[in-house]
Structure 1
Amino acid sequence: MSAITHHIPDSMIAAYASGNLPQPFAMVVASHISVCTECRAALGAHQTVGGALIEQSDEIAISADMKNNMMALLDEPVTPKPVYDAKGVYPGPVMQALKGKPPRWKSLGMGVKQSILAQEGSGSVRLLYIPAGQAVPDHSHNGLELTLVLQGSFSDETGRFARGDVEIGDTDLEHTPIADAGDPCICLAATDAPLRFNALIPRLLQPLFRI
């Protein structure tokens, strides 16, 4: 894999380490960290600091009833969920969302396909398959979008993004991502609000495609 040049911001890694990152974005961060030694080291540093802060914090007394309830919960049998490893271009967190199965692709037209992994409220996380030379319609953002490249690469107004790279789009970014020559570009994309397409047809199809 080529060197990763576009990383997760440190503030977002800190939010992920503390469990305060929304699930769609957490999946992208976890997937990036699984292939990026630099961000994995940053996560370890935040976890170490967090552990030290917990050890230095004052003890808080709890009632006997709360303690008994907590101990009772620990005694309840737990059925562990299956754990899925990385497979092909898909990191472990993506395979976990897919439950170990291949993506179920649905056509968006012009060879572009998507597989929605999770959608809750206005937020979602999905896989995108973009053939070489094909573009995603020009759009801006109503919120935040994280896009992690799993295969191939794409380019837009801000630069080129290859496997392992993450592009962060906010309300200030308007772009037209185009898959580069070579392998089809497969991306993991998470949003917390619908995109803003500039052309009429993508806007009309947007409710159908849930993007």
Structure 2
Amino acid sequence: MSSVTHHIPDAMLAAYAAGNLPHAFAVAVASHISLCSKCRVALEAHQAVGGAVLDESYSVAVSSNLKGDIFAQLDASFSPEPVYERRGIYPGPVLEVMKGREPRWKKLGMGVRQDILSADANGSVRLLYIPAGQAVPDHSHNGLELTLVLQGSFSDETGRFGVGDLEIADEEVEHTPVADFGEACICLAATDARLRFSAFIPRLLQPMFRI
């Protein structure tokens, strides 16, 4: 998409190419790459460099048991490749996590809904539906949050994000995302830690909503 203006930082793209991102972040990155030709070209450059390094590396003989352990670790850390087919607004990597089903929206309040696609000790991937003009409660972060816009747009203290844009918020970012007027904003959000809400009610409901 030529209209994408918020891209993946080069260091994160390199980590993705090396298979070193947690699954939740890898899904968000793969989804962005499937929508962004600029980051797709950058990923191919990283992969080419990685391939050249491997070609120049010396091989070392290992036992069959050690080889099995190495391949098991590689499988555990493998990042999903970008899938370029889409269904409606959902990129291929999102469809893979959804396993072909439709979103199962659960209400969070004020018209905001979510569908938790995957969650474990290392992070979560969820879809967020935010009605036009509605705000997500003010919050900061205990870790990293990647938010990819799939429909509509939202704005916060850091700027405006439209379809294909990826916002990366860390512990230093406190923001109040607001869906812009027009169609509802649907995002893919990936986190590796719970959010830190400023207001009491969101903090009270946080364990129930697993945010």
Instruction: State the TM-score, normalized to the length of structure 2.
Output: 0.89
Deviation at residue 62 of structure 1 after TM alignment: 2.4
Aligned residue number for residue 9 of structure 1: 9
The amino acid of 2:196's aligned partner reads R
Q: Secondary structure at the match of 1:8?
A: coil
The percentage of counterpart residues that share the same residue type is 69
User: Once structures 1 and 2 are overlaid, which stretch shifts more, 120-129 or 88-97?
Assistant: 120-129
CA contact (8 A) 1:85 1:95 kept: no
C-alpha distance in structure 2 between counterparts of 1:144 and 1:68, whole Å: 32
Give RMSD over aligned pairs. Answer: 2.0
Show structure 1 runs of 5+ residues with no match.
Answer: 71-82
**Aligned residue pairs, count:** 199
Alignment of 1:1-211 (within 5 A): 3-63=3-63, 85-121=85-121, 123-211=123-211
User: What whole-Å deviation, never above 9, does each CA across 1:25-81 have from its counterpart, x for those lacking one?
Assistant: 0000000000100000010000000000000000111247767999xxxxxxxxxxx
Show structure 2 runs of 5+ residues with no match.
Answer: 71-82
CA contact (8 A) 1:125 1:189 kept: yes
C-alpha distance in structure 2 between counterparts of 1:17 and 1:63, whole Å: 27
- In structure 2, relative to structure 1, the CA distance for the partners of 1:67 and 1:40 (3 Å cut) is closer
Deviation at residue 123 of structure 1 after TM alignment: 1.3
User: What whole-Å deviation, never above 9, does each CA across 1:97-138 have from its counterpart, x for those lacking one?
Assistant: 111111111000111000001101151110000000000000
C-alpha distance in structure 2 between counterparts of 1:132 and 1:126, whole Å: 19
C-alpha distance in structure 2 between counterparts of 1:36 and 1:2, whole Å: 7
Q: Secondary structure at the match of 2:14?
A: helix
Runs of 4+ deviating beyond 6 Å: 64-70
Q: Secondary structure at the match of 2:205?
A: helix
- In structure 2, relative to structure 1, the CA distance for the partners of 1:209 and 1:44 (3 Å cut) is same
The amino acid of 2:179's aligned partner reads A
The amino acid of 1:13's aligned partner reads L
CA contact (8 A) 1:144 1:170 kept: yes
